[in-house]
Amino acid sequence: NLFRSKQRLLFTLITLILGGGIFISVFSTQSSIERTLDDFVKWYNFDVMVSLQRPYRTQEIEQAGMQIQEVKHIEFWKMLPSRMVRSDKSETTTINMIVIRTNTPNAPSPTITEGRWLLPDDENAVIISSTFARDENIHLGDWITLKIDGDDQPFQVVGVSLGIAAPMAYTNFSYISRITDEVNQADAVLISLKNPAALHKETVNQIEQHFKDKGFQVYSVITMQDETAEAYNLFGVITSLLLIMAVLLALVGGLGLMGTMGINVLERTREIGVMRAIGASNRNVSNVFIMEGMVIGLISWLFGALLAIPLMFLLNSGIGLALIGAPLNYAYSFQGVWGWLALVLALSALASFIPARNASKLTVREVLSYE
């Protein structure tokens, strides 16, 4: 009975398949975003970061930090605002330059999309974020000029890292310390806790107050939790809009299915009469049409799950290249697959209910007189 009107069935299936494909691909994109962000924030390798208003000797910072009972390990950064000088002598917006010690076992290292990470003996080597490389048309191996403390310094791009939002650059701690005459000095403290799960606001306040009591001028204190939440918020609006679009397509498909089942009831009025004449109950008649609607839903679910695979790759590439300058890490969401199955079956049953109920109300006398 489903294939009596192939064209009508095809139009109904196309809408439901598109809705299912987008629904599942949105969930897959969300999973890809989560995997990408997890990789992005994991490289920081700290729980709390204390930014200082000026550089202090690393030995003093470490002595003060290790006096805190909850602290497991301390790492140091130097954060410098810089600008790239273009070939026409114009300058870019501010680049957040992070100066990292690369010769320690707990040194952070971001996700590298091209090239390599910094080596301990690197001097004028730099890693730049993918968004900045895309916007400024910078390629691996290029030499760029960065303005640091008012002086132009040449750097070679040895790697491109995953970047989100603001332009980022990473350079070697020992080299930058020499050219800025701030050897063994840092202005950011990365703290790893013994029990990260127990991190709460009171612990953060205690850490901040401890450094203040030791005579350090604290600029800000942030947690890895805050950084993760901010990164997720960047993508949350996009996935919400995509999910709304998928739900709207599913509703349109449901209305189309309701119309298809309604026409099926009209076309098979005499058959319903035959079923009634041989003793079919109201439930028997209703179940025929409800099951047909759910079979249509199952068919659309199967093809929608297959359609979601190329759609996921397109969404991951489009969203990733637009926001972070590189495709997202792909992750197919089986949660979205089973979620769409439950939704499309419920939608199919609901869309078939009214036509099925109308069919069950037809009497033998009415169908025999139907023209």
pLDDT of amino acid 108: 66
Average pLDDT, the chain: 81
Residue 42, C-beta contacts closer than 8 angstroms, at least 6 positions apart? none
The percentage of residues in the chain with a pLDDT greater than 70, rounded to a whole number, is 88
Q: What's the whole-number mean pLDDT along residues 160-179?
A: 84
pLDDT of amino acid 165: 65
Q: What are phi and psi of 40, to 5 degrees?
A: -70, -45
Cα dist. 224→46, 114, 115, 266 in Å? 7, 25, 27, 62
- Joined together, the tokens standing for residue 73 give 């390990």
Q: What's the whole-number mean pLDDT along residues 252-261?
A: 75
- Joined together, the tokens standing for residue 181 give 């005459």
d(CA 65, CA 47): 13
Q: What's the whole-number mean pLDDT along residues 234-262?
A: 76
Cα dist. 147→144, 194, 271, 327, 359 in Å? 10, 39, 83, 30, 78
Q: Is the pLDDT of residue 107 over 90?
A: no
pLDDT of amino acid 102: 77
Give the pairing of strands 218-223 and 185-193: unpaired
Q: What's the whole-number mean pLDDT along residues 313-335?
A: 81
The percentage of residues in the chain with a pLDDT greater than 90, rounded to a whole number, is 10
More confident residue, 79 or 277: 79
Dihedral sign, Cα of residue 298, residue 300, residue 306, residue 312: negative
Lowest-pLDDT range of 45-49, 83-87, 298-302, 325-329 = 325-329
d(CA 22, CA 19): 5
- Joined together, the tokens standing for residue 256 give 């189309």
DSSP letter string, 3-37 = TSSHHHHHHHHHHHHHHHHHHHHHHHHHHHHHHHH
Q: Do residues 308 and 276 lie in contact, with contact meaning Cβ atoms separated by under 8 Å?
A: no
Q: Residue 354: pLDDT band by 50, 70, 90 thresholds?
A: confident
Per residue in 127-143, pLDDT (tens digit) is 998 888 888 899 999 99
Q: What are phi and psi of 306, to 5 degrees?
A: -70, -40
Q: What is the largest CA-CA distance in the chain?
A: 101
pLDDT of amino acid 134: 85
More confident residue, 366 or 179: 179
Q: Residue 303: pLDDT band by 50, 70, 90 thresholds?
A: very high
- Joined together, the tokens standing for residue 8 give 């009508």
Residue 156, C-beta contacts closer than 8 angstroms, at least 6 positions apart? 124, 125, 126, 141, 142, 143, 144
pLDDT of amino acid 49: 87
Nearest one of 88, 117, 93 to 103, comparing CA atoms = 117
Q: What's the whole-number mean pLDDT along residues 269-292?
A: 72
pLDDT of amino acid 145: 92
Per residue in 45-67, pLDDT (tens digit) is 788 888 999 889 988 988 888 88
